[in-house]
Structure 1
Amino acid sequence: MPRTTKPSRRRERLLALLLLALVLFSPPLVMIADRPLGGGLSALPLYLLLAWALVIGLAAWLLEGGPREEDQG
């Protein structure tokens, strides 16, 4: 199939996902999440798990979300 000259939005979305991941794992946000919960436990492991799951879920959704825009006529 001939390749179109229309730029792919997938690359832009993946770049936005990378920037989101950088913000989520930046030290100021991680330090905010590092607060004690009830019983002396920290919220940091829960924050890291949820942020990582969000990044992985969005990446899977973007990469497996159907046919590429470049391939559509």
Structure 2
Amino acid sequence: MKAPMNHSRLVGLTLLACLFFMPPLLLIFDRPSSSGLSWLPVYIFIVWLIIIGLAAWILEGSRDE
């Protein structure tokens, strides 16, 4: 019974990941900071960690229930 709920959560997570990695949003973080370095690699790494963490939380939570 939990499989459809997990499926819809994973679809939502995929759409959220697509939203976070869209070029207009990426271009906001592609501007150099005062030190001359771009924030883009930091943004991509943090969003990637959040997506992986949420996917693990969704999939691991289904085993306990």
- Does TM, scored on the shorter chain, surpass 0.5? yes
Shift, 1:66, TM fit? 3.9
Number of the residue aligned with 1:24: 20
Q: What code does the residue aligned with 2:28 have?
A: I
1:1-30 CA distances to partner (integer Å, 9 max, x unpaired)?
A: xxx5x8721100000000000000011111
- Structure 2 residue aligned with 1:65, among 32, 55, 61? 61
Identify, as 1 or 2, the structure richer in helix. 2
Larger radius of gyration between Structure 1 and Structure 2: 1
Q: Extract unaligned runs of 5+ from structure 2.
A: none
Q: What code does the residue aligned with 2:35 have?
A: G
Contact 2:29 2:40 in 1 (8 A): yes
Q: Extract unaligned runs of 5+ from structure 1.
A: none
Aligned length: 65
Number of the residue aligned with 1:50: 46
Give the whole-Å Cα distance in 2 for the aligned partners of 1:49 and 1:68. Answer: 29
Stretches of 4+ aligned residues off by more than 6 angstroms: none
Greater relative contact order (Cα < 8 A, sep 6+): 1
